[in-house]
Amino acid sequence: MDRVVYDRMAAHDSTHWWYRARRDILHDYVSRYAGLPRDARILEIGCGTGHNLPMLAKFGRVDAIEIDPAARAIASERLGKPVGDAPLPELPGVERAAYDMVAVLDVVEHIADDVAALRAMAECLKPGGKILIAVPAHRWMWSAHDVVNHHHRRYSKRTLRNAIERAGLRAERMRWFNSLLFPLAAAARIAGRITGRDDSDDSPPPGPVNKLFERIFRLERHLVGRVPMTPGVSIVTLAVPASPVGAAPASGSSAR
- Does a cis peptide bond (omega within 30 degrees of 0) precede residue 231? no
Q: Is position 76 within any domain?
A: yes
Q: What is the pLDDT of residue 202?
A: 74
Would you say 44 and 65 are in contact if contact means Cβ atoms under 8 Å apart?
A: yes
Give me the pLDDT at residue 4, please: 73
Contacting residues for 215 by C-beta, under 8 A, at least 6 apart: none
Give domain status of residue 254, yes or no. Answer: no
pLDDT in the model for residue 200: 59
Query: Is residue 150 included in any domain, yes or no?
Result: yes
State the pTM of this model: 0.91
Whether 256 maps to a domain, the answer reads no
Q: How many domains does the chain have?
A: 1
Phi, psi (rounded to 5 degrees) for 128: 90, 0
3-class state of residue 60 by DSSP: strand
pLDDT at 3: 63
- Name the E strands within the chain: 40-45, 60-65, 99-105, 125-136, 169-177, 234-241
In a domain, 169, yes or no: yes
* Cα–Cα dist 213/181, whole Å: 8
Torsion sign, CA atoms 72, 115, 162, 102: negative
Distances (CA, A) of 103 to 15, 180, 230, 239: 22, 24, 24, 10
**Radius of gyration over alpha carbons of the chain, in Å?**
17
pLDDT at 192: 81
Q: Assess if residue 30 is contained within a domain.
A: yes
pLDDT of 2: 64
Query: Could you tell me which residues come within 8 angstroms of residue 195 by beta carbon, excluding any fewer than 6 positions away?
Result: none
CATH of residue 27's domain is 3.40.50.150
CA–CA distance, 75 with 95 (Å, rounded to integer): 20
202: β partners: none
Domain of residue 224: give its range.
3-241
Angstrom CA distances, 63 to 26, 130, 141, 205, 245, stand at 18, 15, 33, 32, 22
Q: Does 246 reside within a domain?
A: no
pLDDT truncated to tens, each residue of the chain (256 aa)?
666 777 778 888 999 999 999 999 999 999 999 999 999 999 999 999 999 999 999 999 999 999 999 999 999 999 999 999 999 999 999 999 999 999 999 999 999 999 999 999 999 999 999 999 999 999 999 988 888 889 999 999 999 999 999 999 999 999 999 999 999 999 988 888 888 776 556 788 999 999 999 999 999 999 999 999 999 999 999 999 997 654 443 444 444 4
Q: Is residue 148 part of a domain?
A: yes
